[in-house]
Structure 1
């Protein structure tokens, strides 16, 4: 089975090319519903959600080959929901004793959040055990966009001995769509750019990266209500508006609460400052270079603003997204 990177091709070919996969995986692709994609040229529907071939391979690899350690942490988001920001926060929080946030040699100053907290979908099975991003050998931190029903069941199954934790972050649907649209065109996942109107129609139909986004959000929302000790549900807007409170909440959930001394010496503010958009976007490591599959580091930093979607959507577009959101979340106790 082929697992290696395919860096010799343009990104849109890496994302879409089916010829770099095993025959077993190609047989799977041929059996799945296939539609024109928002970011990739084509998306495939698997277990109710839409993926590029490259992302789908990561999902199936995870389901078949991943074995947890006692305290593994999964950061889960819909694409373009603040993943880069929360990767930085999560890494700094977990490792704050080994790497105090004010140290001049902090790893975040020389490595990107995506290098420190890898996307599960981009890892080969042979790389799972090599991930070492915590001072505790029982803990690894991974990021993923995989819906809850497609995760290996030990992450949410109380009958296992696993203490794995899921931190889920979501974002306003309108802001998410606009950010995803810009990202898809910026990183050239397609052989040619997609228009805002075409991207919008696909997004509303649920044919977007790990879409429908509403179903992914709702899955983790319900899981967080049923198993709050395993799943923490967070919102990008709340992280922006009340960062200290949300950082305390995150630390408590992960069993790493801040001490009174840390509170008094400003450790929370130091973490918030180090991981801020303003700080991270200005670092050379985040403005140059590319990741494993050819995505530029700079493409992950656009503006990070709450309410940015209003600048790009017509009133009818915004109303349609609001209506879909209301219908999808009706009766769930979740509102946006």
Structure 2
């Protein structure tokens, strides 16, 4: 691919250039990995993909999926989840990340763990993922909260332990990054196209693609955990229900628990392409509606109007539109 011939844009938050490929925007290292994946990755019918756009609940979805899939059978000899790897590892380190781990971990991944994770949009997934009939679980989030989380995440990478001393410059960058996000020129964007691709797939293939809304999972996590277990083919038994296994998984994967674990507060950094990321950067607030503390009224109206136009005729409504 001749990179000089494809559109590019400067990403202010991640301080790198994004390249447009198949309608979406990627940093160079992710783009190169994506092309390799499309040419070489072979999915298995038993694979289960955990998917989300950046900063739309990806870290949490991976934790929930891993805890549900691996309960008792591999780690929990005392039946209370106290030996689960999530207590000592970031969820991104226990579930292989397709774009980042393809050349290493995925080729030699644990054959007993069917989980894989990706930020890739549905239309860019390798052909074998679509044709194999493997299951896909997708998490979407209200775009205003997604943007605020996206902004803060990349600020943590660029300005670790910084109190934003150059407030005017940061404010201007925030407004410019908001404009780029709304134009679809963000990492993995356009956000609305990403969401709609999986939404339509979930309608066309309801037994293969499960579409979740972050706000609904947050509002009733126990119900969602049971729904996830049912979808992946591992529903909770009566014995497990009596022993409160679903509730324990909710507690294990809660924001309060994960964010306070030593590994996620002080752990080693996770390498993402050329970037080094503190584990704590993946845990900010984990709440819905935080956009109200950051977006001006005009910004809210702009993004709500884009959502209205983009979702027109799709029957999709985000989990929270207030």
Q: TM-score surpassing 0.5?
A: yes
**Given the alignment of the two structures, is residue 297 of structure 1 paired with residue 279 of structure 2, yes or no?**
yes
Contact 2:41 2:128 in 1 (8 A): no
2:271 aligned counterpart, secondary structure? coil
Match of 1:99 among 67, 75, 83: 75
Contact 2:122 2:198 in 1 (8 A): yes
Aligned to 2:9: 35
Match of 1:310 among 277, 292, 311: 292
* Separation of aligned partners in 1, 2:251 and 2:297: 35
Contact 2:71 2:81 in 1 (8 A): no
Alignment of 1:1-336 (within 5 A): 27-40=1-14, 41-97=16-72, 98-100=74-76, 102-132=80-110, 137=111, 139-157=113-131, 162-188=132-158, 195-288=173-266, 289-293=268-272, 294-336=276-318
Shift of 1:155: 2.1
Superimposed CA distance per residue, residues 63-103 of structure 1 (whole angstroms, 9 cap, x where no aligned partner): 01111233111111010011111111100100002234723
2:313 aligned counterpart, secondary structure? coil
Aligned to 1:11: none
Shift of 1:244: 1.4
Cα 1:52–1:189 shift into 2, 3 Å: farther
2:277 aligned counterpart, secondary structure? coil
1:99 aligned counterpart, secondary structure? coil
Q: CA RMSD in A?
A: 1.8
Cα 1:228–1:139 shift into 2, 3 Å: farther
Contact 1:39 1:209 in 2 (8 A): no
Aligned to 2:166: none
Contact 2:37 2:102 in 1 (8 A): no
Gaps of 5+ in 2: 161-168
Shift of 1:139: 4.4
* Separation of aligned partners in 2, 1:304 and 1:28: 40
Contact 1:72 1:138 in 2 (8 A): no
Superimposed CA distance per residue, residues 269-318 of structure 1 (whole angstroms, 9 cap, x where no aligned partner): 10000011111011111112101231111110101011011110011100
Cα 1:168–1:189 shift into 2, 3 Å: farther
- The runs of at least 4 aligned residues of structure 1 exceeding 3 Å deviation read none
1:187 aligned counterpart, secondary structure? helix
* Separation of aligned partners in 1, 2:317 and 2:45: 34
1:123 aligned counterpart, secondary structure? helix
Shift of 1:189: 9.0
* Separation of aligned partners in 1, 2:106 and 2:300: 40
Number of aligned residues: 301
Contact 1:79 1:145 in 2 (8 A): yes
Contact 2:96 2:117 in 1 (8 A): yes
2:2 aligned counterpart, secondary structure? helix
* Separation of aligned partners in 2, 1:278 and 1:271: 13
Shift of 1:245: 1.2
Shift of 1:38: 4.2
Gaps of 5+ in 1: 1-26
* Separation of aligned partners in 1, 2:195 and 2:244: 33
Shift of 1:34: 0.8
The TM-score with structure 1 as length reference comes to 0.85
